[in-house]
Amino acid sequence: MGLWLVPLAFFGFLAFGMPVGFAIGVAGMIGIYDMGPKFMTMAPDRVFAGLDLFPFLAMPFFILAGEIMNRSGITQGLVKLADALVGWMRGGMAHSNMVASVMFAGLTGSATADSAAFGNTLVPAMQKAGYTRPYACAVTAAGSIIGPTIPPSTLAIIYGSIMGVSIAGLFAAGILPGLLICAICMAVIALTARAKNLPKGEGRPSLCAVAGALREGFLAALLPVFILGSILGGFATPTEAASIAVAYALFVGGVIYRALTWRDLYEIAVRTTRITGVIFLIIASASILGWWMTFNRIPQAVAEGMLSLSDNPQVIIGLILLLLLMIGLVMDINATLIILAPVLAPLTLKIGMDPVHAGIMIILALNISLMTPPVGACLFVLASVTGEKVERIATEIWPFILAEVSILIVIAYWSDLTLFVPRLLGL
């Protein structure tokens, strides 16, 4: 049938509305069938082998911890703390949105969770303060990708697991890029604040107000410290740290704040199961497609094809970034990561990139896809939560996209910046 049939089947199924996890699996099965009937008997084993990685256990626990913190209302303390710190500036609530995204990122590692939480809370508050709803949604979407960049990042767990790269190293390497994204987005807000006539805050808060906000958000802000401290300090694996995070979130939300009911816990468990199930279905299906690609030496062919265009590492890095950004426009980032990581990682090794540096570059490029139309997941989450049209959000988000792509380019070509924290921690 030829190699062309598998990608044709995959994109054809997507065009007809088949969920991406099933489209990947069915396309992979078509490819395996073409390899010969005897290979079909090995397909179920590949499905389970694709999920049989211990670090994957960390993902549902981190998702669960984030859901508990969000449902119990603890994250509102983070928003108040962020507002106390930067809310006095022109465009203060937009700045607060960015700072709160950094804090919230340390709880969930999920961009869509950030978008859903702030879409329900900060976007209406920004509207009430005088911001347009499309702009408020655009700011929220731009800040949401900090979630899967700063640890605990689910994409870092997936990449580290399937490529054998240190997850602790990826977590540490994601800290500076995440902070840089926040800084450049705040710069965009500041530079456009007067042109857009963004509302100005009521003035600098008193030390008492800051202390009060810090006291209210302290327990939520402490969770990322527990997670990172235990992993980077060598006291726990990412999976064990995720379990600690769940226990901490349950204690704070249920015992200290008394904000969780049995019904809340049931709904949290259902939502966590759904999110985890979708991710694991994609991973399992992609393992079949990845097996087919390996059998047909597609990763080697891609690497050889790119190297035939140029042997200059700088050019190769540019081609990788362009490929990731273009594919991210039309594909789910989890599927893209699982399919392309085994293809691109060997290529990055050939041009001398550090595996952790290459991993962060790939992850950040895919994270930007979460806010780019036509299939940016965060745009659709915000559209469904706020009732705003995706097209109107997209018109406001382009300055943030360009700013974050500029950070991506800096990260890609300046390895010392990405690896500074891992080297500092001896990872």
| Average pLDDT, consecutive stretches of 10 residues, N- to C-terminus, the chain (427 residues) | 73 77 80 75 72 73 78 70 72 83 71 74 82 89 86 84 87 90 92 82 66 67 73 75 83 81 88 80 76 72 73 89 82 77 86 92 89 76 80 88 94 92 83
Q: Is residue 216 part of a domain?
A: yes
> Residue 417 is part of which domain span?
42-424
DSSP string across 25-74: HHHHHHHHHHH-HHHHTTHHHHHHHHH--GGGGHHHHHHHHHHHHHHTTT
Q: What is the pLDDT of residue 344?
A: 87
Q: Is residue 278 part of a domain?
A: yes
For residues 250 and 54, is the Cβ–Cβ distance under 8 A?
A: no
Determine the Cα angle at 37 with ends 32 and 42, to 5°: 65
Q: Is residue 28 part of a domain?
A: no
Q: What is the pTM (predicted TM-score) of this model?
A: 0.79
Q: Is residue 270 part of a domain?
A: yes
Q: What is the pLDDT of residue 118?
A: 76
Enumerate the β-bridge partners of residue 315. none
DSSP string across 210-275: HHHHHHHHHHHHHHHHHHHHHHHTTSS-HHHHHHHHHHHHHIIIIIIS----HHHHHHHHHHHHHH
Q: Is residue 23 part of a domain?
A: no
Number of separate domains in the chain:
1
CA distance 59 to 154: 6
Secondary structure (3-state) at 99: helix
Q: What is the pLDDT of residue 75?
A: 65
Q: What is the pLDDT of residue 106?
A: 65
CA distance 85 to 205: 8
99, 106, 107: which is closest to 66 by C-alpha? 107
DSSP state of 104: H
Q: What is the pLDDT of residue 229?
A: 76
Q: What is the pLDDT of residue 410?
A: 94
181, 88, 200: which is closest to 141 by C-alpha? 181
